[in-house]
Chain A
Amino acid sequence: MATNFLSTGISGLLAFQRALDTTSHNIANVGTEGYSRQRTEFLTRPATLTGNGYVGNGVEIATTRRIYDDLLAGQVRTSSSTFSSMDTFATYVNRVNNLFSDTTTGLSATLQKFVNALQDVTNNPSSIASRQVLLSEAGGLTDRLKSYDAQLATFDQQVESQLKSEATEISTLASSIAQLNQEITNSQARFGQPANDLLDQRDHLIDQLSTHIDVSTVAQGDGSVNVFIGTGQALVVGATASKVTTVADAYDATRHGIGIIQPGGNTVNVTGSMSGGTLGGLLDFRSHVLDPARNALGRISVALADVMNEQHREGIDLNGALGGDFFGIGAPTVLGNTANTGGATVTASIADAGALTEANYYLEKTATGWSLKRDDTGASITLSGTGTAADPFTADGLSIVIGGTAANTGDRFLIQPTRSATAGLAVLVTDPGKIAAAAPIRTEAAAANTGSGKISAGTVVDASDPALRSTVTIQFTDATHYTVNGAGSFTYTSGSPITINGWQVEISGAPAAGDAFTIKDNSGGTGDNRNAQALVDSLNAKVLDSGTTSINDATTRLIGGIGVTARQAQASRDAQSVIKQEAVDARDSVSGVNLDEEAANMLRYQQAYQAAAQIISVANTLFDSLLAATRR
């Protein structure tokens, strides 16, 4: 009899001791990341049947298990993957945003300073000092553009190196997870009890993995978990982990994507299917912010150089010579796919800056010819021309020439029209006297004219015409007809343009018979500011996007666009942070340790333990009294 309740008391003593063990384990791990609180579960021992009913035999320990909800843990992973993707994105975008934030030395202000310096030249074209200032401001503008481009290139390199470390980190985590899978499977198979702490460790590693990339998990019957990333690429299967590495881009060997090394040793490029986590944020930033920003900046440089050069060539400098190019600019880059089998080479050049876009293009050899696709929208672009040097392909402001030997069907080329433009930007005019501020021609009405005819100052339409600066006399034979250099008879309409030798003038009013107008070389016209003014006008003109965007519009659009993206990224990140926190709270409300609860448990088990000990003491007393009774 007495032995029965002694053993019952001992069973309670052991059970509560174990419960106190678990409680102290919980308390000790209150600060451990990824720890799930544990609970010792009791089971009533089978009762003994006596003649007068069942007599209980005390308690036994069923198991110690962790309080863990797979669903809630999954939510934490999803939300933290999205959060760290947004966080990485927002952090990088914010750096670009800060780059463009300075309004006093920023792009827009520097551009305006350059235009103002040009205006000062129009005020005083013969002054070497104001011309020198213009050259300095031009240098300042190219420096500013190039420093932005260099900064963006630095971000690109940082993304590159972070991608490398992300790949390493993911591989390390994957192999740790695989190893823990192995240990868990072994342990659970051997002892038939949940390996709580190992499970916590593994699940915490998966949590960590989810901050690097989107993960999905599938639990196996043996306690192991299979982990998939991206759109279903297996990273961990049981005790085997795949390796993630960076792989060079098929077009641009300096740029890397993400690849998975398959069991056979093949590396598969999975960059396109990677999303979420730091890795997803980096890839997103690179393709949606960094590359477009560099292209947009490049397009601004191209437009600036193109507009300036074109107009500058139509003027003459202080020495009377026609102006050359004002700015040098980087040419479009063309990169062949490493898988190309043909020997074709492709060169691209800018044909019309006004039609240029900020996109990259893929040029592909098809069975019937060549096709061009935009990188960002995937839209097909119609090519005109035949692709030879004499008749190049033209599309979206580009001129494309196919050279080398024949291409094979499927050969592809990546064309980046403006990516390298800014890096090649340079001021080609170094002598202030060589700034072409004057127009190459001037017009004169003969002093003896008796009619009221007036001639305009004239504009250049084709500076390359060899006879541009030859003297031309327009003489009226009567009120409605005139000869050119004494030849022909042309009908006169007041105000309608007369185009000869690459220039254009308008005569208006009522010239009389015998009236003469002369168009001649403007060498010596050191005070002429017409070409400088034309430079100002064309810099302010809407030259981009088929005449809807000015250079300044393009800069504010770039800066504003990055501002909007940065703001949205911050807002999304903040919102996602709340969502993530809620998911973590939900999980912690189930799995987290609460010290008050543990304190209460401790008291409860302590008291129960004391009570059980008391039973032993009572049993002892009973034995004693029994022994004392029988001793006599």
Chain B
Amino acid sequence: MRISTAALHNAAILQITDRTAALVKTQNQLASGKRIVTPADDPTGAVQALGLDRALAQSQQYGRNADAAKSRLSFEEQALADTTTLLDRVRVLALQANSGALDSVGRQSIATELQTRLGELVDIANRRDGNGEYLFSGYATSTQPFALSGGGATYSGDQGVRLLQTSDNQKIADGHPGSTVFMDIPQGNGTFVTGVGAANTGSGIIDAGSVTDRSAWVPDTYTISFTSETTYDVLDSSSNVVASGTYAPDGAIAFNGIQVQLSGAPAAGDTFTVTPSGKQDIFTTISNLITTLGRPADTDADNARFVTEIGTALAQLDRTQEHISTVRAEVGGRLSVLDSAADTRADRELDLQTALGSLRDLDYADAIARLNMQLTGLQAAQQSYTKISQLSLFNYI
């Protein structure tokens, strides 16, 4: 083919320009360390990288959320641990009071300590987290949740539970409302609660009782009324007799799927009550104990009542301990879920970073090899051009 002189030069210059452009691109990649400098370099890869970037940022945010949840849950865990310690002390004091060796002065000193403990417990229930938010007030984190009043405490928070997102499809509660922790504790044995009639004159004592057949239990307020020192009737709230029998000390009285045990010597006309369990807050439990300790202990009946009430209080304290333990177990469970989620997240972030790296980051070995090849190519193009361009027939004329 005939080649025009201009075409010869143009072609060579075009080649050199193209090679320079390719060289500049490689240099740009080397300087930035990135394989994809603009989306056009690899549109699919760029979009994938954007997705991975987002997933990574999201995962890191989930980490922050988890940290926030963990910090609050740790505060809660500490408060619950302190509550448990406090309740242990209250239980020891109650047992001490129950030993029978104490006179009213001794009881009074126990009552005084209990009063202090009660104040301490309210302080625990009113604790704040690292951000100054109340731990146990539900959504109303700027409202002090608990205040002592009369025979217990009032709760000014709500039942809200805050959920924090810790992965795409996991939301973890960062606490419990105070009502759940300190207020909603089932009374007695969880089904019913026993009591001693205020006007009793005998020394009869009733225990906390137990359920023998849950299906036969009919929730109602029952009165065990002694018609003589040895016979009793069990009346329901409409004064119908549901059971009656002969009293033997330490014998069980059973009706409607439950049984209670009476001991001591009840007098005729004495009454004992069985009422369905409601809920009792922890503050009322301690307050009741203080009230019991302040009662006169002069007569047999007083004593019987004292023993029964201390028994009820101890049973209630056990319930409360159990309840707090359940809440603690839940907090512990959440903390461990957070820990394992953190591990999963770390693995996933590593995967994401690896994927992102292989997608977007430059393979230096490959790029440098390419750079050298392109350099050689450009040099060859330049050298051959200078040689060829010198060729001319005019040189020989």
B137 near A527 (CB under 8 angstroms)? Answer: yes
Beyond A101-B37, A442-B158, A552-B54, is A447–B184 a contact (Cβ under 8 Å)? yes
B40 near A570 (CB under 8 angstroms)? Answer: yes
Closest chain B residue, CB of each to CB of A124? B131
User: Which chain B positions have C-beta within 8 A of A115?
Assistant: 58, 61
B 377-397 binary contact with A (CB < 8 Å = 1; else 0): 000000000000000111001
Closest chain A residue, CB of each to CB of B68? A123
B6 near A527 (CB under 8 angstroms)? Answer: no
- Interface size in chain B (residues, C-beta < 8 A): 64
Task: Check A254 for interface membership: any CB of B closer than 8 A.
Answer: no
Q: Select the residue from B7, B44, B49, B137 with max chain A CB neighbours within 10 A.
A: B7
Task: Check A268 for interface membership: any CB of B closer than 8 A.
Answer: no
A447 near B393 (CB under 8 angstroms)? Answer: no
User: Which chain A positions have C-beta within 8 A of B161?
Assistant: 457
Task: Check A589 for interface membership: any CB of B closer than 8 A.
Answer: yes
B6 near A127 (CB under 8 angstroms)? Answer: no
User: Which chain B positions have C-beta within 8 A of A592?
Assistant: 3-7
Task: Check B38 for interface membership: any CB of A closer than 8 A.
Answer: yes
B47 near A94 (CB under 8 angstroms)? Answer: no
B53 near A450 (CB under 8 angstroms)? Answer: no
User: Which chain A positions have C-beta within 8 A of B92?
Assistant: none
Docked complex Cα distance between A556 and B47 (Å): 6
User: Which chain B positions have C-beta within 8 A of A602?
Assistant: 397
B 107-134 binary contact with A (CB < 8 Å = 1; else 0): 0000000000000000000000001011
Task: Check B160 for interface membership: any CB of A closer than 8 A.
Answer: yes
B40 near A116 (CB under 8 angstroms)? Answer: no
- Interface size in chain A (residues, C-beta < 8 A): 72
Task: Check A253 for interface membership: any CB of B closer than 8 A.
Answer: no
Docked complex Cα distance between A415 and B179 (Å): 57
> How close is A128's CB to chain B, nearest CB, in angstroms?
11
* A563 partner, pick from B40, B133, B134, B278, beta carbons under 8 A: B40
User: Which chain B positions have C-beta within 8 A of A595?
Assistant: 5, 392-394
Docked complex Cα distance between A559 and B10 (Å): 37
* B53 partner, pick from A103, A457, A526, beta carbons under 8 A: A103
* A127 partner, pick from B10, B131, B164, B171, beta carbons under 8 A: B131
B50 near A108 (CB under 8 angstroms)? Answer: yes
A447 near B279 (CB under 8 angstroms)? Answer: yes
A 411-455 binary contact with B (CB < 8 Å = 1; else 0): 000000000000000000000000000100011110110100000
For window 149-201 of B, CB contacts with A under 8 Å fall at 158-165, 171, 179, 183-184
A 344-360 binary contact with B (CB < 8 Å = 1; else 0): 00000000000000000
A122 near B40 (CB under 8 angstroms)? Answer: no
Docked complex Cα distance between A503 and B137 (Å): 23
A522 near B139 (CB under 8 angstroms)? Answer: yes
Task: Check B84 for interface membership: any CB of A closer than 8 A.
Answer: no
Beyond A108-B54, A524-B140, is A444–B394 a contact (Cβ under 8 Å)? no
Task: Check B269 for interface membership: any CB of A closer than 8 A.
Answer: no
User: Which chain A positions have C-beta within 8 A of B41?
Assistant: 563, 567
Docked complex Cα distance between A448 and B51 (Å): 51
User: Which chain A positions have C-beta within 8 A of B202?
Assistant: none
B53 near A108 (CB under 8 angstroms)? Answer: yes
Task: Check B14 for interface membership: any CB of A closer than 8 A.
Answer: yes
B 35-66 binary contact with A (CB < 8 Å = 1; else 0): 00111111110110111011001101100110
User: Which chain A positions have C-beta within 8 A of B183?
Assistant: 447
User: Which chain B positions have C-beta within 8 A of A589?
Assistant: 1-4, 7
A 136-172 binary contact with B (CB < 8 Å = 1; else 0): 0000000000000000000000000000000000000
A 557-596 binary contact with B (CB < 8 Å = 1; else 0): 1011011101100100000000001001100111111111
> How close is A494's CB to chain B, nearest CB, in angstroms?
19
Task: Check B257 for interface membership: any CB of A closer than 8 A.
Answer: no
Task: Check A109 for interface membership: any CB of B closer than 8 A.
Answer: yes
User: Which chain B positions have C-beta within 8 A of A445?
Assistant: 159
B64 near A123 (CB under 8 angstroms)? Answer: yes
A567 near B43 (CB under 8 angstroms)? Answer: yes
Beyond A527-B160, A559-B39, is A588–B65 a contact (Cβ under 8 Å)? no
B184 near A126 (CB under 8 angstroms)? Answer: no
Docked complex Cα distance between A528 and B14 (Å): 67
> How close is B187's CB to chain A, nearest CB, in angstroms?
11
> How close is B381's CB to chain A, nearest CB, in angstroms?
16
Q: Select the residue from A97, A525, A529 with max chain B CB neighbours within 10 A.
A: A525
B47 near A559 (CB under 8 angstroms)? Answer: yes
Task: Check A263 for interface membership: any CB of B closer than 8 A.
Answer: no
A 244-285 binary contact with B (CB < 8 Å = 1; else 0): 000000000000000000000000000000000000000000
A584 near B7 (CB under 8 angstroms)? Answer: yes
Docked complex Cα distance between A442 and B394 (Å): 98
B44 near A560 (CB under 8 angstroms)? Answer: yes
Beyond A536-B165, A589-B4, is A444–B159 a contact (Cβ under 8 Å)? yes
Task: Check B311 for interface membership: any CB of A closer than 8 A.
Answer: no
Task: Check A31 for interface membership: any CB of B closer than 8 A.
Answer: yes
A123 near B65 (CB under 8 angstroms)? Answer: yes
Docked complex Cα distance between A448 and B46 (Å): 59
Closest chain B residue, CB of each to CB of A123? B68
> How close is B223's CB to chain A, nearest CB, in angstroms?
20
A529 near B162 (CB under 8 angstroms)? Answer: yes
User: Which chain A positions have C-beta within 8 A of B43?
Assistant: 560, 563-564, 566-567
Task: Check A622 for interface membership: any CB of B closer than 8 A.
Answer: no
Task: Check A600 for interface membership: any CB of B closer than 8 A.
Answer: yes
User: Which chain A positions have C-beta within 8 A of B46?
Assistant: 103, 559-560, 563
User: Which chain B positions have C-beta within 8 A of A603?
Assistant: 397
Docked complex Cα distance between A525 and B161 (Å): 11
Closest chain B residue, CB of each to CB of A560? B47
> How close is B184's CB to chain A, nearest CB, in angstroms?
6
Closest chain B residue, CB of each to CB of A29? B6
User: Which chain B positions have C-beta within 8 A of A526?
Assistant: 139-142
Docked complex Cα distance between A90 and B158 (Å): 62
> How close is A79's CB to chain B, nearest CB, in angstroms?
15
Task: Check A30 for interface membership: any CB of B closer than 8 A.
Answer: yes
A524 near B142 (CB under 8 angstroms)? Answer: yes
Docked complex Cα distance between A49 and B4 (Å): 44
Task: Check B138 for interface membership: any CB of A closer than 8 A.
Answer: yes
Closest chain B residue, CB of each to CB of A101? B38
> How close is A457's CB to chain B, nearest CB, in angstroms?
7
Task: Check A599 for interface membership: any CB of B closer than 8 A.
Answer: yes
> How close is B29's CB to chain A, nearest CB, in angstroms?
13
B138 near A527 (CB under 8 angstroms)? Answer: yes
Task: Check A228 for interface membership: any CB of B closer than 8 A.
Answer: no
Docked complex Cα distance between A592 and B6 (Å): 7
Task: Check A8 for interface membership: any CB of B closer than 8 A.
Answer: no
Docked complex Cα distance between A529 and B1 (Å): 79
> How close is B140's CB to chain A, nearest CB, in angstroms?
5
Docked complex Cα distance between A123 and B42 (Å): 38
For window 474-529 of A, CB contacts with B under 8 Å fall at 522, 524-529
B139 near A533 (CB under 8 angstroms)? Answer: no
Task: Check B219 for interface membership: any CB of A closer than 8 A.
Answer: yes
Beyond A527-B133, A594-B4, is A97–B40 a contact (Cβ under 8 Å)? yes
* A527 partner, pick from B54, B139, B165, B394, beta carbons under 8 A: B139
A527 near B141 (CB under 8 angstroms)? Answer: yes
Task: Check B33 for interface membership: any CB of A closer than 8 A.
Answer: no
* A119 partner, pick from B140, B160, B165, beta carbons under 8 A: B165
**Can you list 25 A-B contacts (CB < 8 A)?**
A94-B38, A94-B40, A97-B39, A103-B50, A106-B50, A109-B53, A112-B58, A115-B61, A119-B65, A442-B160, A524-B139, A525-B140, A527-B139, A527-B160, A527-B162, A528-B160, A529-B162, A552-B54, A555-B50, A559-B47, A567-B41, A594-B3, A596-B5, A599-B394, A599-B397
> 6 closest A-B pairs (Cβ-Cβ)?
A592-B4, A527-B141, A563-B39, A525-B139, A563-B43, A566-B40
Q: B residues bordering A, Cβ < 8 Å?
A: 1-7, 10-11, 14, 37-44, 46-47, 49-51, 53-54, 57-58, 60-61, 64-65, 68-69, 131, 133-134, 137-143, 158-165, 171, 179, 183-184, 219, 276, 278-279, 360, 392-394, 397
Known: A560-B46, A585-B7, A593-B5. 6 other contacts (CB 8 A): A101-B38, A120-B64, A122-B165, A444-B159, A529-B163, A559-B39
